[in-house]
Amino acid sequence: MFYLVCLFLLGLVLGLVAVASNPTPYYAALGLVVAAGAGCGVLVGHGGSFLSLVLFLIYLGGMLVVFAYSAALAAEPFPEAWGDRSVVGYVLIYVLGVGLVVQGFWGGWYEGSWVVVDGFKEFFMLRGDTSGVALMYSFGGGLLVLCAWVLLLTLFVVLELTRGLSRGALRAV
C-alpha cells in the first residue's frame, strides 16, 4: 500500500507540473484531471474515501466547466503541444526544482512514519472517515452552503466574462 501511495504522490507532482508548464488549456485540463485523480488516490490511501469522492466530483464537475469555457475562449488553430521546446523547457525546469526541494528535505524524512490507513487495521474500531462525514454535515453545514454559493458565483462570473456578441470582458482580446 505504501508503494501505491508513493505512485499516487508521483502522479500528483507530475500532474501539477503538467498544469504549470503548459500554456494551452487543452493539455492543462488533462494535467488537472491527473493531479485531481492522484490527489484523491492519496486521500483514499490515508483513509479519506468519502472526502476524496466528494473532492473528485465537486472539483472536476465545477472547475472543469471553467476550463471548458477558457478552452472555448482561447481556441487556437495550432496549440502548443507537449513536444514543443518551450513546454519541454518548462517541464524540465519544474522537475529540476521539485527534485532540488526533495533533495533538501530528504534527510529529515523517515519512511516508517508514512503509515497508510490499512497499516493498523486491527487497532481501529471504526473508520475515521465516517465520523468526519458526520462532523462535516453537523458543524460544517454553513461552510458547505458558503462553498456552494462561491461555486455558483464563480460560474456566473465565467459566464459573464465569456458572453458572446462582444459584450463580455474578455472578448475584446
Q: What is the mean pLDDT of residues 140-161?
A: 80
95, part of any domain: yes
How many domains in the chain?
2
Angle between helices 141-161 and 128-138 (to 10 degrees): 70
Is the overall model pTM greater than 0.75, yes or no? no
DSSP of 25-39 = HHHHHHHHHHHHHHH
| Residues 77 and 40 placed together within one structural domain of the fold | yes
Residue 119 burial class via C-beta count within 10 angstroms: exposed 0-12, middle 13-18, buried 19 and up: exposed
119, part of any domain: no
Q: What is the mean pLDDT of residues 6-12?
A: 90
pLDDT at residue 31, as a whole number: 81
Nearest to 119 by CA among 1, 33, 9, 17: 1
**Is the pLDDT at 39 greater than 80, yes or no?**
yes
CA distances from residue 35 to 10, 13, 15, 138, 142 in whole angstroms, order as listed: 10, 7, 4, 30, 28
pLDDT tens, 69-84? 666 666 667 777 777 8
Q: What CA–CA distance (Å, rounded) separates 37 from 32?
A: 8
| Residues 52 and 106 placed together within one structural domain of the fold | yes
Q: What is the mean pLDDT of residues 28-35?
A: 81
pLDDT at residue 96, as a whole number: 92
| Residues 82 and 28 placed together within one structural domain of the fold | yes
**Is the pLDDT at 116 greater than 80, yes or no?**
no
Report which of residues 16 and 129 the model is more confident about: 16
pLDDT at residue 124, as a whole number: 61
| Grid cell at residue 72 | 472555448
**Is the pLDDT at 155 greater than 70, yes or no?**
yes
Domain end residue (candidates: 92, 111, 130): 111
